[in-house]
Structure 1
């Protein structure tokens, strides 16, 4: 009877200790995550600005920022630029290429995998701004790309002005593919070889093994990687802004670049935070589509 009375007290004491030790984490979470999220929502419905009359006359303006946003042709262009950049850079580029490299290296010896892996990972660990300057130099008028074209007697091309979106997509794929490669490499190594060997003995072709066994067994990894790479690519700013500044014109102005221009170049912070909410919504919708399409529960 005495033990039954002491046990709830002990459990209560453990809960109090847990709350005490987690309290600093909650404070940090509130300050650096929940607080900014709440302020972002509040500011998106306001006329917050850094200069002009709005800077001294803060007020809530309802959905005016969102109405202005969807009436702005540059915003619609940035939406399209974002979709193109994410689809070709994240889905087609990083995810597909990362899977292909991981699959091709699967049967190779350890030394070969380490050498190729280090070469690819070197681009990933390089700071984004450094990667941007490397590609600006590579695609410049006197860069390596035009030097190679000169060897073929082809006139130099102003890559960053003639093909700006293709240029930033290639640069981002070059930098980010290593992450997908490592994720898929780990997942493919976990597939039991006995399963594929049994399929070969049953007369399955190489294509059938890949489509009917390999891909279904790493479906969860594919969904997770797609979500992570998509969300990361949605937030790419430094690479695009350093290479093209969102131009020429607005031809490479994705939502993060457009948001920066409105918030910190035009000083319309309220309008900029409203754009950030749209960016957040696009990321959430993309994640739901991946989970629904691949039928994966996260």
Structure 2
């Protein structure tokens, strides 16, 4: 290949060079540091904060011997499945479908109400959810007004409370993705199916969903990875409790690293979380490749 041609070929990638550099500095750098720190006994304070010792896989051996870790892993997967894969994804699609069929005023009102929760700062949304589910909160006040006894939801069913709060907080994103995707469904396909006698559910299952399957895979990937990293909502609502009843992996990593000062062990937990996210991402990317014609 002539030198001039190689130069022109290389210049084609010049515009993306700043983005690559930023990814390396702000994404790859911290990830590599986390993996390195997980192989040491780095501490938040004391001698090991300045001069940590190399311990190899000792933190990971300790991790899989810790009775809290499998519970945190199970709670994390439950949180992702309940609030992202089923909650935000399914509810977002349902709202998008219903809003396309509703009157403009109804569609605008519902859309504004759903998006309002999404645009709130995360800490504000977390305190609002806490105020709703707490013992003296809005939910118990509403139940009491109709003669139903309330309970301390954040103590009795902490994971159900944080799952519902995250669905409320994040459904708007899925709704917007699916509203855009539904706009690309050819109208002649649904009209032809309707003329052939297909009902609403049949048109949805046999025409709409196959046409937007690429958007479904994309949305699933984005909301799953976002939900894996949720920390503030859970920490404000339950603090990971009661006991370890809502201690997902991000909460566990925070507690070990900053509450107990064991940075090495905390980053080992975070590294496992990174690997889980990579597995989910690889699965969804494979699904996206399969959608290509």
Q: State TM-score, norm by structure 2.
A: 0.91
| Contact in 1 for aligned 2:43/2:263 (Cα 8 Å) | yes
Residue 201 of structure 1, CA deviation: 1.5
Structure 2: gaps spanning 5 or more residues: none
Give the paired residue count.
291
Candidates 188, 192, 200, aligned match of 1:198: 192
| Contact in 1 for aligned 2:218/2:288 (Cα 8 Å) | no
- Further displaced range: 47-56 or 279-288: 47-56
Candidates 103, 111, 117, aligned match of 1:123: 117
> Cα RMSD between the aligned structures?
2.3
1:230 aligns with 2:224: yes
Residue 297 of structure 1, CA deviation: 5.0
DSSP-derived class of the 1:106 partner? helix
Alignment map for 1:11-26 (pairs within 5 Å): 12=7, 15=10, 19=14, 24-26=18-20
Residue 291 of structure 1, CA deviation: 5.1
Structure 1: gaps spanning 5 or more residues: none
Alignment map for 1:158-197 (pairs within 5 Å): 158-197=152-191
Q: In 2, distance between residues paired with 1:112 and 1:18?
A: 47
Residue 283 of structure 1, CA deviation: 1.5
Aligned to 2:211: 217
DSSP-derived class of the 1:251 partner? coil
Q: In 2, distance between residues paired with 1:23 and 1:295?
A: 25
Aligned to 1:92: 86
Q: In 2, distance between residues paired with 1:17 and 1:99?
A: 39
Aligned to 1:155: 149
Q: In 2, distance between residues paired with 1:113 and 1:155?
A: 34
Residue 287 of structure 1, CA deviation: 3.0
Q: In 1, distance between residues paired with 2:291 and 2:31?
A: 26
Aligned to 1:134: 128
Bigger Cα Rg: 1
Alignment map for 1:72-87 (pairs within 5 Å): 72-87=66-81
